[in-house]
Chains A and B, each alone.
Chain A
Amino acid sequence: MELILSAGIGALAASGIYLLLRPRTYQVVIGLSLLSYAVNLFIFSMGRLRVNAPPVLEPGGVGDLLRYTDPVPQALVLTAIVIGFAMTALFLVVLLVSRGFTGTDHVDGREPPRGD
């Protein structure tokens, strides 16, 4: 379980970082999205993996806390997902504006002298 998830996180992070280093704005936006999946899963996994554990405390009794999932990483990830979305949206707009102003989709706003 842990092995697979960490391999998945690694693959997501590697693809994201590779795309971040590419010259086209679209690639960077996709890369950021991939990277944010990786980061979210990483934070989430800090609370350890739990299958079939109730995430919500039942009213009435406290019971055994060990049976529940760790709420703190979940809360952090919940915020991170929303922020990641806002960031993607913002970059998408920047991408389009930059394209409109400069006529190119290169991250530097102009085409390099030789093609990449």
Chain B
Amino acid sequence: MLSVFILAPFGGSLIAIFFPSDQRGATAWFAGAIALICFLVTAALYPFVATGGVLRFELAWIPELGLNFKLRMDGFAWLFSALITAIGFLVVLYARYYMAEEDPVPRFFALFLAFMGSMLGVVLSGNLILLAVFWELTSIVSFLLIGYWHHNAHARDGARIALTMTGMGGLAMFVGLLLIGRAVGSYDLDVVLASGDVIRNDPLYNAILVLVLLGALTKSAQFPFHFWLPHAMAAPTPVSAYLHSATMVKAGVFLLARLWPVMAGTEAWFWIVGLAGLTTLLLGAYFAIFQQDLKGLLAYSTISHLGLITVLLSLGSPLAAIAAVFHIVNHATFKASLFMAAGIIDHETGTRDMRRLSGLFHYMPITATLAMVASAAMAGVPLLNGFLSKEMFFAEAIETHLINTLDTATPYVATIASMFAVTYSLRFIHSVFFGPLPSDLPKKPHEPPRWMRAPVDFLVLACLVVGIIPAQTIGPFLHTAVVSILREETPVYSLAVWHGLNIPLIMSFVALSGGVGLYFLMRSYLATGIEGPPVFRLLEGQRIFERVLVTLSWKWARSLEQSLGTRHLQPQMRLLVFLALAAGALPLAIGGFQLPPLVIRGIDPAFALLWGIGIACAVGSAFLAKFHRLASLVLLGGAGLVTCLTFVWLSAPDLAVTQLLVEIVTTVLILLGLRWLPKRIEEPETADIPLKVRFRRLRDFLLAAAAGGGVALVAYTVMTRPLIQETIAATSSPGPTTRAAARMSSMSSWSIFAASTRSAKSPCSASSRSRSLRCCCASARTRTAWKRRSSRRCRRPMTTTIPRGRRATASPSIFTSPR
């Protein structure tokens, strides 16, 4: 059943791309139907999830590594799926009217569905690796969506910045998740969620925390990574409405909430998450006041609200987590409706600049009313949903969680930030819908088509209903979600509009009156029409980002190229050979190397003669290649024949046949090519060769001789060592199957190669001298395998050398269908 959530959007995306580009309606209906189906499936699953059940779907993915394609839906994932699919459906409906005739609509809807699928994948992943995969998919698809109007330079820039930021964060998060998997011993989300103490007590906890938070905070556009979000506003408005209300940016807080039970509650968590959240909350709200672009205002307000959710999650108290989940839902509803309203205004008037817009209430009274209700919810006006979660936030802010300055500052910062929120909400309404009638709009404004407004209607209605009777509407769903995060820690809480006259209510009152007052104080300044907040305007995130990027990818690269680069092949080849030689010699120099005993006896004279000829051929070919090409070619053929005979000698007839055929064809080919090469006549070799040339030849000769000698030494060392396969097979009683033997021998060749560099006297003693090769990371895995075998023979338990991640990989792949 859960696989529908992945199959339907991605399958739909593949189909949608093939719709003809003039079929706007049909494509939209198709995409809408997919979103609706997903939503209906979500709704149908509710009864099961509500009773505390967890749906699972499992498919073998890479069973050798213990990785399964596992989807998992608990209450929290259900709530998110419902949000994603419901708002997805509404946005599709809206986009049907928003997109212009000339836009390539199939591409839009295909990307949209793909994005929905990856977002559903993020929330439903039952496995950390899968989560990281879908996480990166959202980054990539959002890049394509933000850059949808790729003829627009702003859209391209915005898409690039968003991808760079979220992509880098995603990579950091991936490493963090791998570390979690290593600490816990499994990537399965069920196991991870049940082992919070293991993670919190892991020696690498701080590293895990920082890496995972990098992913979550970049995705959620938290300070100091917030600047990609305003630039992403160059996307079509339906994309903004979807990505920045219910999905993309919510993925970050989703991850924070998902890992909240296992990672929160420590001081490091409180400081990092809390500081980022509070700064974002305050700065986002402050910046939002000074935007002139409608969507810019909404973007900064989104950043600020995400900061609020982050702060709530940082506090580490169950009540705060409930408030966070509640605010996630509320923010998604009112912010999606506000983005759609801003899109309607843009669509019907041709501009989003608040300096040009005014008095629109006269032309579009219904849209204006809807927008007013939604922004009142954003400001936290009573009887609307935003008020409820904000009250809960205030109530948590005044509680003392940890005794430090940050905790003390929280209520003040919260009040000031929500004062700013009131100010920018008021500005949004007042400057757009009131004031004198507009004079220089590109289009004559009017109400939008009925169905374009319908999604806004619905969302605003939801804001109102939830705001007035929360316990009867959102209550049970919220409870389901919260129980799945907090489990038995779930405290008693009540969703009600009126909690009596208490401190949070007073804080709300202060924020409301202060915000209104602030707006009227600042009106004259805002009317001057300067874009961006004072002082901070100069310190623009994008410029810093560009500067860093240019320095890294252009200036440094250029200076590196100037110092190291050359247009000649030979120095590069020389460097390459030298580096390869150094890389080969380094482990031997560090790990110690003992020359193998020289075995002279048992040499077949015929074989020695054969290779005497072979070596002569090779060296001769090398020295004649410049002036006597044909002779060199013949000698090359001679060396090839010796190789071929060696294969025959050493029981590899198939190789010999192949080598012989290839040899013949190569010789014929080169012979054909010979006649086009320029003539080169050997000059009488005298002493007038320049010293420089002599030196160069000598250097190349020494380099080649060193490399050849090294290869010979390594080859000899390996060959004189016994194959482990033989010793294993000798001890294990029944003959192993062919496949196992083949696999074993392939591994053993390499483990011998790794082991040969450390001069082990006997396999048993090797396990004690583990230090010698630690630097040689490439052989780490083979070394483990080798040790395991040698320990088996020594009858000494060596469990500590087996990576912990391997231990839990034995679970068989099973298909678990829900019910």
Stretch of B77-85, B116-124, B225-233, B642-650 contacting A (4+ beta carbons < 8 Å): B642-650
B735 close to A65 (CB less than 8 A): yes
B654 close to A18 (CB less than 8 A): no
A30 close to B598 (CB less than 8 A): no
- Whether A55 touches B711, Cβ cut-off 8 Å, given contacts A4-B608, A66-B726, is no
Residue of chain B at shortest CB distance from A104: B678
Complex alpha-carbon distance, A67 and B717, angstroms? 23
- Whether A92 touches B678, Cβ cut-off 8 Å, given contacts A45-B719, A57-B738, is no
- Whether A55 touches B678, Cβ cut-off 8 Å, given contacts A7-B615, A13-B707, A27-B625, is no
With a cutoff of 8 Å between Cβ atoms, the chain A residues found around residue B164 in the complex are: none
| Complex interface bits, B627-645 against A, C-beta within 8 A gives 1, otherwise 0 | 0010011001001101100
With a cutoff of 8 Å between Cβ atoms, the chain B residues found around residue A15 in the complex are: 618-619, 621-622, 704, 708
Q: Which residues of chain A from 10 to 44 have any CB-CB distance to chain B below 8 Å in the complex?
A: 10-24, 26-27, 29-31, 33-34, 37-38, 40-42, 44
Complex alpha-carbon distance, A9 and B749, angstroms? 18
CB distance from A54 to the nearest CB of B (A): 7
Complex alpha-carbon distance, A13 and B725, angstroms? 29
| Complex interface bits, B563-583 against A, C-beta within 8 A gives 1, otherwise 0 | 000011110011001000000
Stretch of B196-204, B482-490, B663-671 contacting A (4+ beta carbons < 8 Å): B663-671
Q: Which residues of chain A from 82 to 107 have any CB-CB distance to chain B below 8 Å in the complex?
A: 82, 84-85, 88-89, 92, 95-96, 99-100, 103-105, 107
Q: Say which residue of A1, A14, A71, A105 sits within 8 Å of B704 (CB atoms).
A: A14
Q: Say which residue of B569, B577, B602, B662 sits within 8 Å of A1 (CB atoms).
A: B602
Complex alpha-carbon distance, A74 and B750, angstroms? 14
B677 close to A65 (CB less than 8 A): no
Answer whether residue B7 sits at the interface, using C-beta atoms and an 8 A cutoff: no
Q: Say which residue of A10, A22, A54 sits within 8 Å of B709 (CB atoms).
A: A10
CB distance from A11 to the nearest CB of B (A): 4
Interface residues on B, range: 35 or more
| Complex interface bits, B737-752 against A, C-beta within 8 A gives 1, otherwise 0 | 1100110011001101
Complex alpha-carbon distance, A30 and B632, angstroms? 8
With a cutoff of 8 Å between Cβ atoms, the chain B residues found around residue A48 in the complex are: 719, 723
CB distance from A16 to the nearest CB of B (A): 8
B599 close to A65 (CB less than 8 A): no
A10 close to B711 (CB less than 8 A): yes
Interface centre among B598, B693, B715 (most CB of A within 10 A): B715
With a cutoff of 8 Å between Cβ atoms, the chain B residues found around residue A46 in the complex are: 718, 749-750, 752-753
- Whether A30 touches B625, Cβ cut-off 8 Å, given contacts A3-B716, A7-B615, is yes
B712 close to A13 (CB less than 8 A): yes
With a cutoff of 8 Å between Cβ atoms, the chain B residues found around residue A14 in the complex are: 704-705, 707-709
Answer whether residue B690 sits at the interface, using C-beta atoms and an 8 A cutoff: yes
B625 close to A2 (CB less than 8 A): no
Q: Say which residue of A5, A10, A21, A85 sits within 8 Å of B574 (CB atoms).
A: A21
With a cutoff of 8 Å between Cβ atoms, the chain B residues found around residue A66 in the complex are: 726, 729
A65 close to B651 (CB less than 8 A): no
Residue of chain A at shortest CB distance from B647: A44
- Whether A37 touches B640, Cβ cut-off 8 Å, given contacts A77-B655, A78-B655, is yes
B618 close to A44 (CB less than 8 A): no
B719 close to A41 (CB less than 8 A): no
Answer whether residue B437 sits at the interface, using C-beta atoms and an 8 A cutoff: no
Answer whether residue B46 sits at the interface, using C-beta atoms and an 8 A cutoff: no
CB distance from A87 to the nearest CB of B (A): 10
A37 close to B693 (CB less than 8 A): no
Complex alpha-carbon distance, A103 and B678, angstroms? 8
Residue of chain A at shortest CB distance from B629: A26
A37 close to B643 (CB less than 8 A): yes
CB distance from B712 to the nearest CB of A (A): 3
- Whether A85 touches B666, Cβ cut-off 8 Å, given contacts A27-B626, A62-B738, A92-B673, is yes
Query: DSSP majority for the A interface?
Result: helix
A45 close to B718 (CB less than 8 A): yes
With a cutoff of 8 Å between Cβ atoms, the chain B residues found around residue A33 in the complex are: 636, 640, 666
With a cutoff of 8 Å between Cβ atoms, the chain A residues found around residue B608 in the complex are: 4
A51 close to B651 (CB less than 8 A): yes
CB distance from A59 to the nearest CB of B (A): 12
- Whether A6 touches B715, Cβ cut-off 8 Å, given contacts A11-B615, A62-B738, is yes
Stretch of B21-29, B514-522, B695-703 contacting A (4+ beta carbons < 8 Å): B695-703
| Complex interface bits, B283-321 against A, C-beta within 8 A gives 1, otherwise 0 | 000000000000000000000000000000000000000
B708 close to A17 (CB less than 8 A): yes
B715 close to A10 (CB less than 8 A): yes
With a cutoff of 8 Å between Cβ atoms, the chain B residues found around residue A18 in the complex are: 622, 700-701, 703-704
CB distance from A24 to the nearest CB of B (A): 6
B712 close to A9 (CB less than 8 A): yes
With a cutoff of 8 Å between Cβ atoms, the chain B residues found around residue A103 in the complex are: 678
B719 close to A49 (CB less than 8 A): yes
Complex alpha-carbon distance, A34 and B517, angstroms? 85
Answer whether residue B195 sits at the interface, using C-beta atoms and an 8 A cutoff: no
With a cutoff of 8 Å between Cβ atoms, the chain A residues found around residue B567 in the complex are: 108
A65 close to B658 (CB less than 8 A): no
A34 close to B622 (CB less than 8 A): yes
- Whether A73 touches B749, Cβ cut-off 8 Å, given contacts A37-B640, A66-B729, is yes
Residue of chain B at shortest CB distance from A65: B741
Residue of chain A at shortest CB distance from B574: A21
B704 close to A17 (CB less than 8 A): yes
With a cutoff of 8 Å between Cβ atoms, the chain A residues found around residue B654 in the complex are: 55, 74, 78
With a cutoff of 8 Å between Cβ atoms, the chain A residues found around residue B611 in the complex are: 4-5, 7-8
B603 close to A3 (CB less than 8 A): yes
Q: Say which residue of B602, B658, B704 sits within 8 Å of A78 (CB atoms).
A: B658
B650 close to A26 (CB less than 8 A): no
Complex alpha-carbon distance, A93 and B532, angstroms? 61
| Complex interface bits, A53-64 against B, C-beta within 8 A gives 1, otherwise 0 | 111010000111
Q: Which residues of chain B from 36 to 51 have any CB-CB distance to chain A below 8 Å in the complex?
A: none
Complex alpha-carbon distance, A73 and B718, angstroms? 14
Answer whether residue B614 sits at the interface, using C-beta atoms and an 8 A cutoff: yes
With a cutoff of 8 Å between Cβ atoms, the chain A residues found around residue B666 in the complex are: 33, 85, 88-89
- Whether A81 touches B625, Cβ cut-off 8 Å, given contacts A1-B607, A6-B715, A10-B708, is no
B651 close to A2 (CB less than 8 A): no
CB distance from B723 to the nearest CB of A (A): 5
With a cutoff of 8 Å between Cβ atoms, the chain B residues found around residue A7 in the complex are: 611, 615, 712
Complex alpha-carbon distance, A78 and B745, angstroms? 17
B713 close to A6 (CB less than 8 A): yes
Answer whether residue B600 sits at the interface, using C-beta atoms and an 8 A cutoff: yes
- The 14 sampled A-B contact pairs (Cβ below 8 Å) are A4-B611, A5-B611, A7-B712, A9-B711, A12-B643, A13-B707, A15-B619, A24-B680, A26-B625, A45-B719, A48-B723, A74-B652, A85-B665, A95-B677
In order of increasing CB-CB distance, the 7 nearest A-B pairs are: A14-B708, A10-B712, A18-B704, A6-B716, A15-B622, A72-B746, A2-B719
* Given contact pairs A10-B709, A16-B704, a sample of 20 additional A-B residue pairs in the complex whose CB atoms are under 8 Å apart: A4-B608, A6-B715, A8-B642, A8-B646, A17-B708, A21-B574, A23-B570, A24-B625, A24-B626, A44-B652, A46-B752, A50-B651, A62-B738, A74-B655, A81-B662, A85-B665, A95-B673, A96-B673, A104-B678, A107-B570
